[in-house]
Amino acid sequence: MTSPSGSPSDGQPTSPTRRRFLEHLVALAIRPSSHKYYLRWAEDWITARGNRSADATTAFFDALGRSSHLGGRQPLRGTERFWAHHSVARRARRGAEPTPAQFRLAVDAVRILARDILALPWAAGFDWQGLADQAWPLGPDHRALDQEAIEECAQLPAPPPVPSGPPPETDDEIDRIVEALRRAIRMAGFASATERAYVHWNIRFTRFCLTVLKQTPRDAGPPAITPFLDSLELERNVAPATRKQALKAVVFLTRKVFGLEDFTFEHVIAPAHGGRPSPPAMTCDEIRLVISHLDGPWKLAALLIYGSGLRVIECLRLRVRDLDFAQGTITVRDGRGNTRRVIPMPGALAPTLLTFLAGAHESHLRDLAGGAGEVHMPESLLRGHPEAAREWPWQYVFASATLWVHPRTRRVARHHLHQDSMARQFRAAALKGGISKRVSPNLLRHRFAARLLESGADIGTIQDLMGHASLASTIIYLFGVQRPSDGAPAPIDCALPNP
């Protein structure tokens, strides 16, 4: 971080600052092998004049997030070659790829230098965690990817016949049943989460039949369901809701795969219904307090959820084309159950959304100028319109800070913010506000429905706005309006003597 003579060069910290920085890394128990990377990211930041202001730091990381595989060039080979070039511009020209983990390491390095060592005035209030969370990648099995409209049903072969007779090899039988089960589930149009749950329970059911009953699931038939459920309850001590889910999964296998349509629920012992605990309610004052401690896209996303009743994943997956400012509406596509609905846009948020989109549009133009600018899209749509991935209307409103390799298609493009990062930011804001109850961003959606009911809205209208397939779901979400009767004394008041 210093010139050979020991004097500052290019605005870099002096040698004592470098020594304090290294000592602080040791005090934080950061691995010694990572110290050189912390130093070099700090040098990049100083060279780019990021220490001048918070806006300069944000611009530095914006440029860093755009430097992944620019123009389709491949990353450098070898760790030393990768880290040999310090400036962000050089990394972009050479095609180096800062992964999301390296992006978060860079944020951590700059945070330590700016806040703990240099003690810059703006660094204490800068949202370092929020900046790092914007680069959180989606895993290969993330539920947001499973909800993408990727056509797979037509590509599946016909299910092989499930043989009867002596028990076959366990793994072979499981593979045959799972293949037939997946086809039946996808032809029925069930959600991806339902598919995962049904496959899980039927794998366990198949193993139970083969190892305990010494029969195939088809030969064991409906009488095998009761001992399987009993084993879950007695040996695994599962909750009643879990037992009910396992029952539904095995019944679907029996009816749709084995063809036993005359099978009814009377053949098994119905699971007990456990009481569903109501989630904690948040008052309007508590919501305002939490939102006041949020910053950047997290704050705008929270306001949008609170003002329109969106699910968290629905909010983060919004694209620019889904916001109609002229009509004052928001279109929610691929909602739960592959549904589509149109909801009113909160009028008070329209100016803030326009300002936010203007900044995002400038970032998108810089991406296009640098050879990037693509966004992840459903493959079925991308095949017909390959140019749409670079168009502004298809960009995510709440885009990630870094480019990202899609685990299925291997395309390098930008995705939306991670919903787990949103939950983490919301909980951190609640702790800053002194709220000790268990909270999540979904409580904003609950409060939206409760306010509608309090204002006299029709229950059917609330169901449509919330995107519920069943009215029972809407009633559960309206726990926030349940209040004790006004004027009725509490039992403890009756027990206490009058003063």
- pLDDT computed for residue 498 by the predictor: 47
Asked if residue 91 has pLDDT above 80, the reply is no
* Statement: residue 216 has pLDDT above 60: yes
Spatial separation of the C-alpha atoms in residues 289 and 307, rounded to whole Å: 16
DSSP assignment of 46-60 equals HHTTGGG-HHHHHHH
Map tokens 């961003």 to a residue.
441
Q: Indicate whether 330 pLDDT > 60.
A: yes
How far is Cα 202 from Cα 306, in angstroms, rounded to an integer? 39
Structure tokens at 462: 């609330």
CA–CA dist 151, 382 (Å, integer): 12
Ordered by where they begin, the domains of the chain are: 15-126 (no CATH), 157-267 (1.10.150.130), 284-481 (1.10.443.10)
8 A C-beta contact, residue 481 and residue 454: yes
Q: What is the pLDDT of residue 99?
A: 67
Task: Provide the token pair at 318.
Answer: 């919004």
pLDDT value at 221 more than 70: yes
Which residues, in sequence order, are bridge partners of residue 324? 329
**φ, ψ at 53 (rounded to 5°):** -165, 170
Average pLDDT, the chain: 78
- Overall average pLDDT of the 102-127 stretch: 90
Q: How far apart are CA 48 and CA 69, in angstroms?
A: 21
* Overall pTM surpassing 0.75 (yes/no): no
User: Which own/partner contact pairs does 82-85 have at CB distance under 8 Å and 24+ positions apart?
Assistant: 83/36, 83/37, 83/40
Residue 352 is predicted with a pLDDT of: 94
Q: What is the mean pLDDT of residues 307-336?
A: 91
Alpha carbon distance 48, 269 (integer Å): 68
CA distance 363 to 56: 14
Most confident listed range (23-27, 155-159, 300-304, 443-447)? 300-304
Name the pLDDT band for 334 (thresholds 50, 70, 90).
Answer: confident
**Beta-bridge partner residues of 323:** 330
Highest mean pLDDT among 111-115, 164-168, 231-235: 111-115
Angle of helix 350-369 relative to helix 297-308, nearest 10 degrees?
140
Q: Stretch 143-155: mean pLDDT, rounded?
A: 46
User: Which has more confidence, 366 or 493?
Assistant: 366
Q: Report which listed range, 99-103, 162-166, 300-304, 382-386, is most confident.
A: 300-304
* Predicted pLDDT at 314: 92
Query: What is the band of 478 on the pLDDT scale with cuts at 50, 70, 90?
Result: low
pLDDT-derived band of residue 282, with 50, 70 and 90 as boundaries? confident
Cα angle at 229 between 226 and 231, to 5 degrees?
Answer: 110
Residue whose structure tokens are 């991308």: 382
With cut-offs at 50, 70 and 90, classify the pLDDT of residue 65: confident
